[in-house]
Structure 1
């Protein structure tokens, strides 16, 4: 679980720069009965609550499990007035939830950090019979010039960069292995629109990103600024992106 500290010191950038997920995806999950407002949901690797918020707004009781202290502190501050939210200091391998206590498990932008087999065991333990697991990502369109240039900058400066979303690709073999090949996919357009400050915050929120004080940080920041200036239109940078969900039972 070496991933736990990767977002230490990045929670404010994460909260500012990370997007929510396509409203059409949320609507689809409820319209088709994968979730209902009565579902008890465990949101694992909840971060600062980007996806958590969207299901809280549907009326669900949510256990938000987040192991990083900084991220969990922002999560707690943001949602202190939601009485249907229970925030837990836990991991994908040890959530602290009771056996067979949740109807669904959601993981937004975090599955690529997990030990698949250990997470699968924990899911099996805490899910009620016939419970669902929903793995969700915002996936950038890598064919777009702005994303290709962003990729180049990350690859040049960030030694731990392995690709967007931790290198997870659409229908990645890790996803197939987790579901034993039995899952289906929902995908909805969710283009992202950034001011300069939000784009920089989004870039600095990445686990692999350089941070203030690192060698070449100022050069890195300048290249990100140059990228923004190259592609911005009327004060807004559009980043082509899709919200993708993988849904299955274990």
Structure 2
């Protein structure tokens, strides 16, 4: 299995272009249920190319983005350079180098399953305010709600290199319950969607670290199969990814 820090290094361009953002309803949910305001100080752990950071930056929050992958971190710094309240940190979830007792919210978008959970928990407890919130977010692609999504999931199971091993759905509710303060785990699910033509669908596939990339075994085969299922299911030249944007949040102190 590839190193979790470096495995996206050759995927950055596709990641920027084709990965989904997070719906604005995430902000509304956190405002209503966790007291999020524009003054809340945010630590975005595993901030990648800045997709999750941008959601909060547009809400006028100050965000510290912690990302160990050099290529992704540099991409975020370039994409978010207009935001003077974004601070890029070369560090890991387990050792963020952020000040203690400082943050109102710690967020992790599409990243928590890469962390060493117990070490990250200790670090999060160190940097968060006593009553601060940790919010773990995933855009979880629906796998069986349309014929296209069923075929796309089968494509990954057949051709993707370590899809089963790194899939974040390997995490159980018990894993989340252990991470948060006892009886403090809250969840929410919000709908979102992306539409793709063939070019952007190909980019979306190749943004995933488990998909064979150019020059790797299985690259030609997975793209041939992708084209087949696209042409089988497209309507007016497009197919849809439907997502459940899942939030797991609570206190850890």
TM-score by length of 2: 0.93
Unaligned runs of 5+ in 2: none
Asked if 2 retains the 8 angstrom alpha-carbon contact of 1:139 and 1:165, the reply is no
- Kindly report structure 1 stretches of 4+ aligned residues shifted beyond 6 Å: none
Deviation at 1:233? 1.2
Asked if 2 retains the 8 angstrom alpha-carbon contact of 1:140 and 1:164, the reply is no
Alignment-derived partner of residue 157 in structure 1? 159
Alignment-derived partner of residue 121 in structure 1? 122
Alignment-derived partner of residue 96 in structure 1? 97
Alignment-derived partner of residue 47 in structure 1? 48
Alignment-derived partner of residue 29 in structure 2? 28
CA offsets 1:121-166 (integer angstroms, 9 cap, x no match): 0000000111100000001222223222112111111221117843
Counterparts of residues 64-143 of structure 1 (less than 5 Å): 64-143=65-144
Alignment-derived partner of residue 58 in structure 1? 59
Bigger mean CA deviation after superposition, 137-146 or 2-11? 137-146
Asked if 2 retains the 8 angstrom alpha-carbon contact of 1:106 and 1:133, the reply is yes
Alignment-derived partner of residue 200 in structure 1? 202
CA offsets 1:109-128 (integer angstroms, 9 cap, x no match): 01111111001000000001
2:226 is aligned with 1:224 = yes
Asked if 1 retains the 8 angstrom alpha-carbon contact of 2:40 and 2:61, the reply is yes
User: For 2:121, what is the secondary structure of its paired residue?
Assistant: helix
User: For 1:73, what is the secondary structure of its paired residue?
Assistant: helix
User: For 2:226, what is the secondary structure of its paired residue?
Assistant: helix
Deviation at 1:167? 3.0
CA offsets 1:213-244 (integer angstroms, 9 cap, x no match): 01221111111122222222112211221111
Deviation at 1:60? 0.2
Alignment-derived partner of residue 6 in structure 1? 7
TM-score by length of 1: 0.94
Alignment-derived partner of residue 241 in structure 1? 243
Unaligned runs of 5+ in 1: none
Deviation at 1:25? 2.0
Q: Cα RMSD (Å) of the superposition?
A: 1.7
User: For 2:129, what is the secondary structure of its paired residue?
Assistant: strand
2:205 is aligned with 1:212 = no
The alignment of Structure 1 onto Structure 2 pairs a total of residues equal to 249
